Amino acid sequence: MLKALVMRELTTLMRRRRIMALQCGLVALFAILVAIRWPTDSRMALTGSRSQQVFQLFGYGLLATLLLILPVFPATSIVREKKQGTLALLLNTPLGPWRIFLGKLTAVLALSGIILVMSLPAASACYAMGGLSLYGDLWKVYQLLMLAALQYAVLGLLVSTYSNSIDSAVRLAYGLVLGLSVMTLGPHYFFQGTKGYLADIGELLYGITPLGAMMSLTGAGDVGSKGLITKTEVLGRFTVTSLIVSVIASACSISRLNHTIFDQARPQGAISDDQTQSVRFFRRLFFLVDPQRRSSNISSLVNPIMVKEFRCRRFGRLHWLLRLVAVCAVLSLGLTYATTAGTFDWGVETIGGIMVVMQVALLALITPSLSAGLLSSERESRGWQLLQTTPMSIARIVWGKLLSVILPLMLILCATLPGYLVMVYIEPGMELQVKRVVICLAAMAVFAMLLSAAVGSLFKRTAAATAAAYGVLLSICALPLLIWLGRDAPFGHKTVEAALSVNPIAAALSVIRMPGFQDYSLIPANWWFLGIGSIISLLVLLTQTYRISRPQ
Amino acid sequence: MTTDQPRKTATDIPVVVMEHLTKQYGSFTALNDLTLTLNAGQILGLIGPNGAGKTTAIKILVGLIRPTSGTAKIDGVDCVSDSGRIKRLVGYMPDTFGSYDNMRVREYLDFFGAAFGIAPRIRAKRIGEVMETTGTEYMKDRFVESLSHGMQQRVGLARTLLHDPKVLILDEPVNGLDPQARIEMRDLLIQLAKRGKTLLVTSHILPELTRICDRVAIMTHGKLRAFGTVDEIGRQVSQQRTIESHLVSADQVSTAANIIRQAIEPGADVVEAPAEAIVRFRTARPESELGEVLARLIQGGIRVTQFREVQTDLEEAFMSFARPQQAIVSTPVSAGGPIHA
C-alpha cells in the first residue's frame, strides 16, 4: 500500500518538466564548477586548496538548491490534495495517517536523494583533485544535506496540513526557510563572545540553521566570527536539533491527518457593526482598524482594483500592515537607542547593517507573496474573465494591482526611517551613506515587486507563480553571496565585485560600510542593474497582461 | 410559462443579431456560419452537447473572442469593433463564479459596481436593488468563497445586473443547482424577462429551458441545427408523429391496435398500453389521412375518448440532433423563428 502511494507521489513529481530542467541544470553547473578549477598544470599543490575552494561552493550550492526548491513540494502536497478532494479519498482507505505522511515524505526525500546522487560525480572529482577527506569532508557535508532535506521536507508537510490554500502554504514554507536558515544566524553574529542570555539564545539558534554547520564544515566558520575561535561542534548540534524538529513536526503533521482537517465550519461573516458598543470599542482599541467592520463604498477617486486587492488579502488588511510597520519602527529605534546608550559596542555601521538586513529580509519575504500572484490569482479564480467584461482599461487594472503592492512596501520602508534619522543624528558624516542606503532599499523594493509580478505573470497557478518568484528573487539575493563567501579564493576581487553588483543586499551593505562589504564599490552598477531589470520586468508584465486580455 | 405564448414584454425589435459567425482555431471550426436573431424581451435558450460552440458564440458576443468571419451586434453595436460599449450593454455571467478570497458579498458587488464606474451614492442604491431582486440581501456580510453554489449563482446574477444591462448572457446558470434552487433561478430569470431584459441562456438542463424560453437554438459541431419555439423544433425533428388514442375500455386495446396497424404504413411502431387503455403509434401520414384512421376505429366499434398528437419534447429534439450521424447529414433548419440561414 505504502509503495503505491510513494510511487504515485514520486511519479507526479518526476513528470514535471521543471524538475527535469532543474536536474540537468544542476549537473551542468557542477560540471562547469569542477572544470574551471580542474588542474591543467603538470605540477599540483599538495594542500588541495583548489579542490577545497570548489568543494566550498559545491556545498553551499547544493544546500541553497535544497533550501530554495525542496520545501515547495511538501508544502503544497497535502493542501493540494485537500483542495482537489483526493485527501478525503486517501483518508478513507486503510492506509492511515502515518502511512500517508510517510508516503509523501519518502517521495520528497527520494527527490532530494536524486539531486544529491546527481552531485556525486562532481563530489568525486573534487575528491580526486586531492586535499579532501572522505569522512571528514565529503561524508559530513552529505550528512548535513540529508538532515536539512529531512527537516525542511517534514516542516513543509506540517505547513501543508495547516494551510487552507496552496499559495499561502508556499508563502509560509519560504518564510520558515528564511527564518530558520538565515535569520537564525543574526543573533549569533551579534552576540557571540559576549556573556548573558542573549549570547545563549544566539548560540542555540545557531545550532538550528544548516548554514552555520555548512560554514563550519567548509572552513568558512570564521566568516563573521570577528576573530573569535569557536570550539562548538556545530554539525553535531545541528544533527540533534534537526532530528528533534523533524520528530516533533512529523508527530504534529500525522495528528492533523484525520477528519479534523476537513472539520471546519464556513465563516458566517460576523460583523462588528452588529455587536454591542463595548465589543466594538474594544475591537477598535485592539485592531486600530477593525477588519470586521462593514466597509464603506469604494470612492470614485481611488482605483477599485487596488481596494479589491487589499480586501482580498488577509495580510493586506490595514491592521496587519499597521502592526508590521509598528514592529519595524520600534525595532529600528530600539537598535539605534541600544548603540546610543552604549549597551552594545557595535558602531553605527553595524547597526545600519542590521537594519538593512532586517529590511531586505522583510522585502524578500513579503514582496513575492504580494506581487507574484497579481495576475495568476485572477486567472486561477476566473476573476480575470469578469474583469475583462468591465469597462476598465488594462493600464488601470495593472496600475491598481501594482499600487496595492507599492503602498505596503512604502510603509515598510518608511517604518525604519526614524532609525536612520537617529543614526544620522549620532553620526552626521553618514548622511550621504544613509541616503544611498535608502535609495538602494527603495530600488530593491521596486525591482523585487516588478520582478515578482513579471515572473508570476508567466504562470496560471498562484502557487507556481509564488514559488517561481521566490526562487528567482532569492537566487539573485543569495547566489552572489555564495560567490562572496569564496572571495579571494577561488574568486578574485573583481569577480566577486561583479557578482555582488547585481545583489541589492550587498549594495546596501557596501554603502553602509558593513564589515566584509566595505571593500567593494557596487554603486552605481547595482542601481543600473536594478533599473534595467525593473524596466524589463515591467515590459514583461505589460506584454503578458496584454496577451491574456486581448480577445482570442 | 409556455413557449407558445410570447411574453408580453417581448417585442419585434431585434437586439442580438449574429450573421454568418464563424470561428476557427487552425483547422478546427468551433463555430460554423451561425446566423440568428433575438428580439428585445425574449429569452433564448442555447443548447447543444459539449463542444457544440455555445460558449464560443457567447464569448464572441461579450467581446472575449474575435470571430474569424461574420458579424455580431447587440443593440446595433458591433461586438468586435466597439467592445467598450458592449461591456455596458451586456451583463455576462460565465459558467464559473469567479470568487475572491476574504471578500464579503457586499464588498464584491461594490467592487464590480466601481469597476463599471457607477458613482458611490448610486452604487449603494443599486446594490440594494439587485440584492433584493436576486434575494441575496441576507448574505451581504458573508464571504463569497464560503457561499454554497446556489448562493454564488445568485450573487453572480446580482453582479451581472449591477450596471443595468439591456442584455443578459448567462452561461449554464442552473448547472449544479439543487431542484429548489433551480426553480428559484428559473423564476428569477422569468422575472427579469418581464422587466424587459433580453436573455440568452445556455443550459444542459433541458426541462428548465422548455419552461422559460421563448426561442430555443440547438447547436452541434459548431453549427445551428434548429431554431424556433420548442413546438416548432419538435415538428422539425420528427417527420414521424406520435399519436395517442385513449379508449374507454382496456378490453378494446388489442382490437384497436390491429385496426391501426392495417390503416397506417406497414411495419410502423404501434404500442399497446392496456393498463392506461391507450394505443400509441408513430406515423408519417399527413393530417388528412389521420382522420381516416380515426374513422376506421369508430367504424370498428372502438369507443375513443381522445385521439391526439403527442408533442415532441426538447429532450427528444436535442437527442435527435446530438446523434453523430444526424449531425453530419443534417443541414441548418429554418422554421418559424427569425433565422436567416
Asked if residue B204 and residue B188 are part of one domain, the reply reads yes
Under 8 Å between Cβ of A51 and A209? no
Asked if residue B176 and residue B287 are part of one domain, the reply reads no
**Between residues B239 and A180, the one the model is more confident about:** A180
Mutation test of the interface with chain A: which of B58, B141, B149, choosing the one with the most A Cβ atoms within 10 A? B141
Asked if residue B268 and residue B208 are part of one domain, the reply reads no
pLDDT score at B313: 65
Residues 6+ apart with CB under 8 A from B195: B9
- Domain hosting B224: range is 14-236+317-329
| Phi and psi, residue A229, nearest 5° | -105, 125
What is the count of structural domains for chain A?
Answer: 2
CATH number at residue B272: 3.30.70.100
The residues in A 311-340 lying below 8 A from B, measured between CB atoms, are: 311-314, 317
Q: Please report whether residue A121 resides in a domain.
A: yes
**Cell numbers describing residue B36:** 440568428
Q: Please report whether residue B337 resides in a domain.
A: no
Q: What is the pTM for the complete model shown?
A: 0.75
Exposure on the CB side of residue A495, measured as CA atoms within 13 A: 11
Residue-wise burial string across A458-495, b where 16 or more C-beta atoms lie within 10 A, e elsewhere: ebebbbbbbbbbbbbbbebbbbbbbbbbbbeebbeeee
Q: What is the pLDDT of residues B98-156, one digit of tens each?
A: 778 788 899 999 999 999 989 988 999 999 999 998 888 888 888 888 888 888 888 99
How close B334 gets to chain A, by Cα (Å)? 30
Asked if residue B180 and residue B120 are part of one domain, the reply reads yes
Of B62, B103, B111, the CB nearest to A389: B62
Alpha-carbon gap, residue A454 to B25, rounded angstroms: 28
Under 8 Å between Cβ of A107 and A256? no
Q: Is B124 on the interface with A (CB under 8 A)?
A: yes
Asked if residue B255 and residue B211 are part of one domain, the reply reads no
**Cell numbers describing residue B49:** 452537447
Asked if residue A350 and residue A421 are part of one domain, the reply reads yes
Asked if residue B223 and residue B179 are part of one domain, the reply reads yes
Q: Please report whether residue B251 resides in a domain.
A: yes
In chain B, pLDDT over 90 holds for what percent of residues? 26
pLDDT score at A146: 93
Q: Please report whether residue B5 resides in a domain.
A: no
- Domain hosting A479: range is 299-549
Q: Which residue has the cell 443548447?
A: B47
Question: Per-residue pLDDT for B334 more than 50?
Answer: no
Q: Please report whether residue B44 resides in a domain.
A: yes
Which segment of A158-167, B155-164, B223-232 scores lowest on mean pLDDT? Answer: B223-232
Residue B22's CB: how many other CB atoms inside 10 A?
17
How close B125 gets to chain A, by Cα (Å)? 11
Report residue B237's pLDDT band, with 50, 70 and 90 as the boundaries: low
Give chain A positions within 8 Å (CB) of B110: 295, 297-298
**Cell numbers describing residue A23:** 536536474
Q: Please report whether residue A284 resides in a domain.
A: no
Report residue B341's pLDDT band, with 50, 70 and 90 as the boundaries: very low
pLDDT score at B327: 40
Q: What is the mean pLDDT of the segment spanning A228-246? A: 79
Question: Per-residue pLDDT for B338 more than 70?
Answer: no
CB contact under 8 A, B107 and A295: yes
**Residue of chain B minimizing CA distance to A264:** B146
Q: Please report whether residue B339 resides in a domain.
A: no
Q: What is the pLDDT of residues A7-20, one digit of tens each?
A: 777 777 777 777 77
Give me Rg for the CA atoms of chain A: 25
Asked if residue B139 and residue B247 are part of one domain, the reply reads no
pLDDT score at A89: 86
Report residue B340's pLDDT band, with 50, 70 and 90 as the boundaries: very low
Judging by beta carbons within 10 Å of its beta carbon (0-12, 13-18, 19+), is residue A285 exposed, middle or buried? exposed
Residues 6+ apart with CB under 8 A from A524: none
CB contact under 8 A, B87 and A390: yes
Of B90, B98, B123, the CB nearest to A383: B98
Asked if residue A89 and residue A174 are part of one domain, the reply reads yes
Residues 6+ apart with CB under 8 A from B289: none
Under 8 Å between Cβ of B22 and B33? yes
Element (H, E) at A195: none
Report residue B326's pLDDT band, with 50, 70 and 90 as the boundaries: very low
Which of A149-163, A402-416, B99-113, B237-251 has the largest mean confidence?
A149-163
Q: Is A264 on the interface with B (CB under 8 A)?
A: no
Question: Per-residue pLDDT for B335 more than 50?
Answer: no
Of the candidates A253, A339, A322, A220, which has an alpha carbon nearest to the alpha carbon of residue A74?
A253
What is the count of structural domains for chain B?
Answer: 2
Which segment of A187-191, B48-52, B89-93, B285-289 scores lowest on mean pLDDT? Answer: A187-191
Identity of the amino acid at B88: R
Of B63, B84, B100, the CB nearest to A381: B100
The residues in A 386-445 lying below 8 A from B, measured between CB atoms, are: 386-392
Question: Per-residue pLDDT for A218 more than 60?
Answer: yes
Residue B73's CB: how many other CB atoms inside 10 A?
19
Asked if residue B185 and residue B60 are part of one domain, the reply reads yes
Alpha-carbon gap, residue A130 to A135, rounded angstroms: 14
Q: Is A295 on the interface with B (CB under 8 A)?
A: yes
Asked if residue A250 and residue A309 are part of one domain, the reply reads no
pLDDT score at A46: 55
Asked if residue B190 and residue B276 are part of one domain, the reply reads no
Asked if residue B243 and residue B231 are part of one domain, the reply reads no
Asked if residue A231 and residue A148 are part of one domain, the reply reads yes
Q: What is the pLDDT of residues B188-198, one digit of tens each?
A: 888 888 888 89
Asked if residue A483 and residue A339 are part of one domain, the reply reads yes
Which of A189-198, B5-14, B161-170 has the largest mean confidence?
B161-170
Asked if residue B197 and residue B100 are part of one domain, the reply reads yes
Question: Per-residue pLDDT for A510 more than 50?
Answer: yes
Q: Where among A206, A233, A259 does a domain terminate?
A: A259
User: How many residue contacts between A and B have a Cβ separation below 8 Å?
Assistant: 108
Give chain B positions within 8 Å (CB) of A266: 143, 146
Question: Per-residue pLDDT for B258 more than 80?
Answer: yes
